[in-house]
Amino acid sequence: MKECRHLAIIMDGNGRWAKAQGKPRTAGHLVGADNVRTIAIAADELGIEYLTLYAFSTENWKRSSDEVGYIMKLPAVFFKKYMQEFLDRGFRMNILGELDRLPASTHKVLDEAMEESRNNTGLNLNICMNYGSQREITLAANAYAKDVLEGKAPLGIDEAGFEKYLMTKDFPPVDLLVRTSGELRISNYLLWQIAYAELEFVPESWPEFTPDVLKRCLAEFSERDRRFGGVKNV
Ligand code: IPE
Ligand code: IPE
Ligand code: MG
């Protein structure tokens, strides 16, 4: 089986899933958050080392204040329910995004989750919260320029040098990107990191994305022929 070390998922379709059940969109976000636990455990058991999940984008602020407010309160609910289990399993929580633009209480909960799991060496569970790839790259470019001005970095770094300024600096490139709910777009997610990722778009919404669907995605991934610009081995 071809190795998928780093799996990224655009967890889409919570709202439509809820609407289809006659429930408010927020009900979909609650079930979606619970599914993060289910899929993190399944991914860990399937040998994934890095699971990077898109929870809230820099564009999602456009939604109603009720919906945004609900999502901002979810991390506290989520970690209260599941943090102990994650710690027992050795998961390391990393939160990617511009956290200082989140409500202070949300930021605090996310910082605590990172701090509590900082020394763990198991699954890296990366949750992208107020994350946008263009913002990430812009921040990186600014940080690099500042380092040059302050004499801390040379002018003319290469790709590996630039990656050190990205929020994903500690992680390998994405092997497989899955988007749920049938939408065929990237929506400002990990643009640099998916340069050579395999892409899969599945019809299931995020609340319907079960460990069996994950296994199906990984089976398909293992059939792909990754060439990285080279020539197929025959
Ligand atoms: C994904 O589900 C969760 C977030 C973007 C916060 P959506 O809320 O986008 O659900 P749909 O796509 O509207 O169904
Ligand atoms: C992408 O989903 C963001 C997250 C899953 C967090 P969206 O639902 O926001 O994307 P668009 O608006 O359909 O492109
Ligand atoms: Mg959506």
SS3 readout for the chain = CCCCCEEEEECCCHHHHHHHCCCCHHHHHHHHHHHHHHHHHHHHHCCCCEEEEEEEECCHHHCCHHHHHHHHHHHHHHHHHHHHHHHHCCCEEEEECCHHHCCHHHHHHHHHHHHHCCCCCCCEEEEEEEECHHHHHHHHHHHHHHHHHCCCCCCCCCHHHHHCCCCCCCCCCCCEEEECCCCCCCCCCCCCCCCCCEEEECCCCHHHCCHHHHHHHHHHHHHCCCCCCCCCCC
pTM above 0.95, yes or no: yes
Q: Residue 119 — pLDDT band, cuts 50, 70, 90?
A: very high
pLDDT for 185-198, tens place per residue? 999 999 999 999 99
State the pLDDT at residue 234: 60
The number of C-alpha atoms within 13 Å of 120 and in the hemisphere containing its C-beta is 24
| Cβ(14) – ligand 1 distance below 6 Å | yes
* Catalytic (active-site) positions: 12, 60
**Higher model confidence: residue 80 or residue 233?**
80
> Which residues have CB less than 5 Å away from ligand 3 (the ion)?
12
> Would the pLDDT of 1 be above 60?
no
The residue-averaged pLDDT of 17-31 equals 98
On whether the CB atoms of residues 55 and 95 are closer than 8 A, the answer is no
Amino acid identity at 67: E
Query: 45-102 pLDDT, tens per residue?
Result: 999 999 999 999 999 999 999 999 999 999 999 999 999 999 999 999 999 999 999 9
* pLDDT tier for residue 2 given thresholds of 50, 70 and 90: confident
- The strand pairing partners of 93, in sequence order, are 125
Q: Which residues are within 8 A (CB) of 6 and not within 5 positions of it... i.e. 6 or more apart?
A: 48, 49, 50, 52, 171, 172, 173, 174, 175, 176
Residues having CB within 6 Å of any atom of ligand 2: 10-12, 54-57, 60, 183, 185, 187
Report the atom number in ligand 2 closest to the C-alpha of 56. Answer: 6
Q: Is 44 touching ligand 1 by the criterion CB < 6 Å? A: no
Percent of the chain with pLDDT over 70: 99
Proximal ligand: closest to the CA of 186: 2
**pLDDT higher than threshold 90 for residue 232:** no
- The answer to whether 76 and 109 have CB atoms below 8 angstroms apart is yes
Count of all residues that appear for the chain in the document: 234
pLDDT tens for residues 125-181? 999 999 999 999 999 999 999 999 999 999 999 999 999 999 999 999 999 999 999
Q: Contact 71/131 with Cβ under 8 angstroms?
A: no
